[in-house]
Every structure is written in C-alpha cells, then in structure tokens.
Amino acid sequence: MDDLVGRFLNGERRALARIISRVENETAEGREYLRALFPHSGKTHTVGITGGPGSGKSTLTGALAAEYRRRGKRVGIVAVDPSSPFSQGAILGDRIRMQDLALDEGVYVRSMASRGALGGLAPTIDDVVSIMDAFGFDYVLIETVGAGQDEVEIAGTALTTILVNNPGTGDDIQALKAGIIEIADILVVNKADHPGADLLVSQLQALLSLAPAGARRPPILKTTAIKGEGLEKLAGSIVAHREHLVSSGGLDRARAIDARHQVLAIARAILLEKIRRSYPEAELEALVQRVAARELDPHTAAEELAGAVS
C-alpha cells in the first residue's frame, strides 16, 4: 500500500477515485484499502434513491445534492447503471443530469456498472459506500439502476430510502402490491408539474392509511426536480427520518442488520470461490450437462458441488 491512504485521509479526491477502483475490481489490494479505511466510516448519512427508468432519479439526485450544497454539506454520489448481460460493458450516463455540480469541490460523483448484480445495485456497492463514507462526506447519495417492483436491496445499503414515483404510471393496485413500495422511507412524486400528480398523491395516501396503526407512515412529497422544486422539503424530510431512526433505536438496528447482510453475502462469495477452486471446471461442466440432460436434478448436483469443500 503506497501513500494512497495518506492522500485519501488528506482529502485528495484523486486518491479517493483510485481506491474506489481497486475496491470495485475486488482486488486483494482493494481489500487492504478497505481494511485500513473502514474504521473511518460510519459517520455519513446514506440516502438511497430508487424508482423506475426515466422517473427522474438522476435529476432528483443532482437537485438534492445542490440543496445540500446550499446547506454547506459535502456530498458523495454513487450512481449505478446496468451492465450488458452479453458484453459486460456498460454505458454510464447519470452524470449528464448532474452537470451543475461538475466543478463543485464539495461534490464527488462516481458512476458504477451493476456488473451482474441483481437488485439494482453493484456487487461492491457496500464497500464503495464505506470508502466514500470514510472520506468524510456529510451525505452519500446512492442512485440505483432503474428499478421495477422487486429491487429492494437499496434498503439494506442506505439508511434512508426514497422511492421516486411519477404521475400517470399505473393505478393504485400497482402501489398496493408487495415489494419495492414497502421499503420506502420517503415517497416522492416527481415530475409533479405533470397532470395527475395530485391524484397519485391521494392514491398513495389512501394506500398508506391501510397500514397497521402505529406503523411509521412514509411522508409523500411532490418534487419537480428539473426546476429544483420541492427539494428543501425533501432534505428536511430526510433529516426528520434520521432523527426518527436515532430516537427509535432504529439506526443501530439498521446498522446491525446491514452488517449481518454484508458479512453473510461476502462469506457466500468466499465459499463459492472455494468450491470453484476445488472442483475442476471439466467436472463441473460434466455435472451441469447431466442436469441439462435431465439425468440429475439441480439440487443433487449442487449438493455434490458443495460437498467438495465440506
């Protein structure tokens, strides 16, 4: 480990960028950096921003960051876009919507490709967020891949999760379904200058009124991110949610749950790697061929594979 850690701790953005790359590429060196910097993390407030493709996540993320800058806060942004399932390449285009922040020294924007992860994030997202946390940002905003109904991973990564909705995108039964709507700490109706915004707000309100008594009801806020409208209220609502987490003991609970989730996920990856290393590729190929030919069921095959390291 060169002097990158020292430069990082001195606030040098180039060192931050380089360390993130090493962590993202899951190198041994990256793990060393994470080990050195992890103790410096845990101070930032992480905010997840999720919602469908085209719902305005990037614009909202940029506008929220601008609001934080007006409040004198330093902001890190991680924006995830999908990797191609065929070439593993990606077009990362979220910066386009954040041009106003391009030269602001108090803002750092990093684009990440999903690299095959399911759930709207990237395999190393938690580690990358920890690194940004350690750098000393007051807020780290995490923008997911355009998410549909079931991409709930963000709730395990961010302390406050914002679900971005738009007017005119489905009736109230969509919102009644299980899944992504359940993880929202704050519901945002973005593009609120479009027709149907108030109708969507009242549908969401009606839906939330069905929640059991005593359950926290997420606030519903209208924004028109492209015009910078509604951001002050949103920023205030995030502060209120953090205060709620602190006073209810939810912050410690959330951290413990996230840590558990992270440790188990990493252990799973290590075990899989061990299995792959102790089970020759040719034999694996023969095994899966038998499953493909219906000679063997997939559970028996997986037991056989897992037996290689037990």
| Binding segment (CB under 8 A) for other proteins, from list 32-40, 103-111, 204-212, 222-230 | 103-111
| Binding segment (CB under 8 A) for other proteins, from list 10-18, 51-59, 127-135, 172-180 | 10-18
Token digits for 133? 């946390």
Binding flag, residue 13, other proteins (CB under 8 A): yes
How many chain residues are in contact with other proteins, going by CB under 8 A? 32
| Cα 248 off chain centre by | 23
One of 3, 26, 172, 182 touching other proteins (CB under 8 A): 26
| Binding segment (CB under 8 A) for other proteins, from list 25-33, 45-53, 130-138, 141-149 | 25-33
Nearer to other proteins, 25 or 289 (CB): 25
Please say whether the beta carbons of 192 and 224 come within 8 A.
Answer: yes
Nearer to other proteins, 111 or 262 (CB): 111
One of 2, 10, 72, 99 touching other proteins (CB under 8 A): 99
Q: Least distance (Å) from other proteins to the CB of residue 264? A: 18
Report the phi/psi class of residue 156: left, alpha or beta, with left for phi > 0 and alpha for psi in -120 to 50: alpha
Distance CA 307, CA 275 (A): 8
Q: Least distance (Å) from other proteins to the CB of residue 129? A: 16
One of 3, 6, 11, 27 touching other proteins (CB under 8 A): 27
Query: Strands across the sheet with 186-190, in order?
Result: 107-113, 75-81, 139-143, 45-51, 160-165, 186-190, 220-223
Binding flag, residue 134, other proteins (CB under 8 A): no
Q: Least distance (Å) from other proteins to the CB of residue 136? A: 16
Q: Least distance (Å) from other proteins to the CB of residue 32? A: 16
Sign of CA dihedral 219, 225, 243, 248: positive
Please say whether the beta carbons of 41 and 136 come within 8 A.
Answer: no
Binding flag, residue 249, other proteins (CB under 8 A): no
Q: Least distance (Å) from other proteins to the CB of residue 174? A: 31
What does the buried/exposed string (b/e) look like for 255-288 if buried means 16 or more CB atoms within 10 Å of the residue's CB? eeebeeeeeeeeeeeeeeeebeeebeeeeeeebe
Distance CA 297, CA 41 (A): 45
Nearer to other proteins, 240 or 275 (CB): 275
Distance CA 257, CA 259 (A): 5
Please say whether the beta carbons of 78 and 142 come within 8 A.
Answer: yes
Annotate each residue in 51-90 with x if it binds other proteins (CB under 8 A) or - if it does not, as one string: --------------------------------xx-xxxxx
Q: Interface residues with other proteins (CB under 8 A)? A: 13-14, 17-18, 20-21, 25-27, 83-84, 86-93, 95-96, 99, 102-103, 108-111, 113, 115-116, 123
